[in-house]
Amino acid sequence: MEDDEKTNDTFQHAAEGGAIGAAKNAARYVIKTGGRKSNIVNVYDKTVKSSRGNPKWFARIDKPHGKVQYHHVNVNKAITGVPDPHIPISQATAQAAGAAGSVLNVVNKVAPAVAAVSVAIETVQFGAAVFKDIKNGSTRNTIEKTVSVAAATAGGMSGFSAGAAIGTAVLPGIGTILGGLVGAIFGGATAGSYAEEASEKVFDSIGLGIDHPKCEKCGQEFERHRYKEGHQNLCPNCR
């Protein structure tokens, strides 16, 4: 049962990280497939505007054309400060990037709704933790929830940055966006789960939400995890 709960918590933290990654991608990048005859997928950076106020293109994956007779990645010098390297890639990689671009375009569009749902779920869960603590005369569930969400958020943010950097090195544009999203998911899951395990050990060591009443049936003192069991008056042997 506890393993199932841990698995569910890990998925929850991964979803929190994913929502962060999707929101950050949507806030910064625009993805468009097709365009000119040679274009497969284009990525525009909203933080860099043209004289007309439109996002400038950051990276573009093209089919062979003109003097560049191979599938390649173009990178905008106006953003990177580096001359367009025309990075060669295979046809299969170019096609996969085009397919990924279509999927990530959808992710970008639904990112605000995903973020809103994630916040709503976290709010409900936080409320449930507070209610449980009030009922059980504890504060531990609320503190644990706060710590794990904060850690998952921080992990998602740092994972996004690291993943985006790695993705850019591998495949500028689509790799940047996909790397950021994957990094945020793993960062959220890892940091959130680690924070839960660490806080459990710390709180157990200081006895937060734990007391030692006497069993009403046999009179023996027992360890009661009040934050989980509430005001249980019987020891495990007498239940």
Cβ(41)–Cβ(72) below 8 Å: no
152 and 173 fall within a common domain: yes
Angle at 16 between CA 15 and CA 21, to 5 degrees: 90
- The domain total for the chain is 2
Tell me the C-alpha distance between 35 and 31, whole Å: 11
66 and 160 fall within a common domain: yes
Domain that holds residue 190: 1-206
Return the residue matching tokens 């069993």: 215
145 and 227 fall within a common domain: no
Q: Is residue 34 predicted with pLDDT exceeding 90? A: no
213 and 201 fall within a common domain: no
110 and 217 fall within a common domain: no
The token pair at 4 is 């199932």
* Euclidean distance between the first and the last CA atom of the chain, given in angstroms as a whole number: 19
Q: Is residue 4 predicted with pLDDT exceeding 70? A: no
Return all residues near 36 (Cβ < 8 A) that are at least 6 apart: none
What pLDDT is attached to residue 233? 94
196 and 234 fall within a common domain: no
The token pair at 116 is 């809103």
233 and 168 fall within a common domain: no
State if pTM tops 0.75.
yes
Cβ(148)–Cβ(13) below 8 Å: yes
101 and 186 fall within a common domain: yes
223 and 126 fall within a common domain: no
105 and 197 fall within a common domain: yes
Helix, strand or coil for residue 179?
A: helix
What pLDDT is attached to residue 80? 87
160 and 231 fall within a common domain: no
177 and 219 fall within a common domain: no
The per-residue pLDDT of the chain, averaged, comes to 93
The 10s digit of each residue's pLDDT in 110-139 is 999 999 999 898 999 999 999 999 999 999
